[in-house]
Amino acid sequence: MKEKLLRIWRWWRRPSRLALGTLLIAGFAGGIIFWGGFNTAMEMTNREQFCIGCHEMRNNVYQEYMQTVHYNNRSGVRATCPDCHVPHEWGPKMLRKLQASKEVYAKIFGLIDTPKKFEEHRIELARNEWRRMQNNNSQECRNCHNFDYMDFTAQKTVAAKMHSKAIEEGKTCIDCHKGIAHHLPDMKEQPNGF
């Protein structure tokens, strides 16, 4: 047995004309397999079913979301959890996945595992999300709602006025539209958008 292992080891270490080509082909194939598996895993975590797999989300914010226009509306267009909480672009998506590791930590250690605990942390969770959306100019909102394509004449007068003012002042969606898909936390210390 020892002799057989030594023979395999010597064969493996001996350079040959095919070694570099074999190494390149194996490396290329391995890279494709790794990338495909990695990308598939990332996409699996970008599904609503994955998001509500935790009872903290299913029993709290998902129940709120189901009562909004983003869940059920006359046009049948639905924005799911990842549509609003995960950027579409690859780089920002990976950064968001890294940031979500804090949420996994909270899940593992039971920081928000009951409705009472969730409510105690709601303002902190909301502020984190609002800050993220302000920092990226509400990119996830703008994937569907873009000022450039809004017909202000078809909007209610107040909405058209506020959207025009938001453009002038460089505001982003989350400055005014907090609580659009979830209940608002206690807002007594939170400034208004305008």
21 versus 143: the higher-pLDDT residue is 143
- CA distances (Å), 27 to each of 11, 33, 40, 94, 139, in order? 20, 10, 20, 24, 36
Question: Which pLDDT does position 194 carry in this prediction?
Answer: 52
What tokens appear for 66 in the block?
């189901």
Q: Where are the beta strands (DSSP E) in the chain?
A: none
Question: Which pLDDT does position 53 carry in this prediction?
Answer: 85
Q: Is 51 annotated as a binding residue?
A: yes
Q: Is 182 annotated as a binding residue?
A: yes
How crowded is residue 23: how many other Cβ atoms within 10 Å of its Cβ? 10
pLDDT tier at 33, thresholds 50, 70, 90: very high
Q: Is 162 annotated as a binding residue?
A: no
Number of H helices and E strands in the chain, helices first, is 12, 0
Q: Is 55 annotated as a binding residue?
A: no
Question: What pLDDT digit, counting tens, does each position of 39-95 carry?
Answer: 899 889 889 998 888 877 888 889 999 999 999 988 888 999 999 999 888 888 888
Q: Is 121 annotated as a binding residue?
A: no
Q: Is 150 annotated as a binding residue?
A: no
pLDDT at 192 over 70: no
What tokens appear for 107 in the block?
């899940």
pLDDT at 193 over 60: no
Instruction: Sketch the domain layout of the chain as residue ranges.
Output: 1-45, 55-193
Question: Which pLDDT does position 146 carry in this prediction?
Answer: 87
Q: Is 129 annotated as a binding residue?
A: no
Q: Is 89 annotated as a binding residue?
A: no
Q: Is 183 annotated as a binding residue?
A: no
